[in-house]
Amino acid sequence: MIRQIAPVFFSTDIPATLAFYKDKLGFDCLGTWQDPPVYAIVARNGHEIHFRRAAPPTINPDKYKSELLDAYLFVEDADVLHAGYAAKGLEFTRALGDTPWNCREFVVKDCDGRLLAFGAEVKNA
């Protein structure tokens, strides 16, 4: 039985990545390993993201044009989360809106260039 899946993202600067996920996205740091850190774990609402220090990946020029997502985070209320992130000055690569697949979602680019979509299922009235 699988209880949880945690993505492992590469980062060139673990402290900067941790600051972004804590200050901008509201995650808590569960721990770092070695000094300077080469590995870290953040969590929000019981869901973890792991980071490993690594050299920068090869650039994909179509990543942003094609909106090649790195992660999709299912949330309770996309409007509330979006408002909180906007109040913190977070930049959005796709504005909050409804999709043809019955979700209300938005997309942000993190400090390392990853695209994170946050979405909530639209309940039919």
Full pLDDT tens readout for the chain, 125 residues: 767 889 999 999 999 999 999 999 999 999 999 999 999 999 999 999 999 999 877 777 788 888 888 999 999 999 999 999 999 999 899 999 999 989 999 999 999 889 999 999 998 74
Closest listed residue to residue 18, CA positions, set 36, 34, 41: 41
Q: Which domain holds residue 37?
A: 1-56
What does the block give as tokens for 107?
A: 């997309």
> Which residues, in sequence order, are CB contacts of 92 under 8 Å at separation 6+?
82, 85, 86, 106, 107, 108
Give the whole-angstrom CA distance, residue 77 versus residue 81: 6
39 and 90 Cβ atoms separated by less than 8 Å = no
Give the whole-angstrom CA distance, residue 27 versus residue 46: 10
Say yes or no: 36 and 68 in one domain. no
What CATH number corresponds to the domain at position 70? 3.30.720.110
Q: How many C-beta atoms surround the C-beta of residue 16 within 10 A?
A: 12
Say yes or no: 70 and 45 in one domain. no
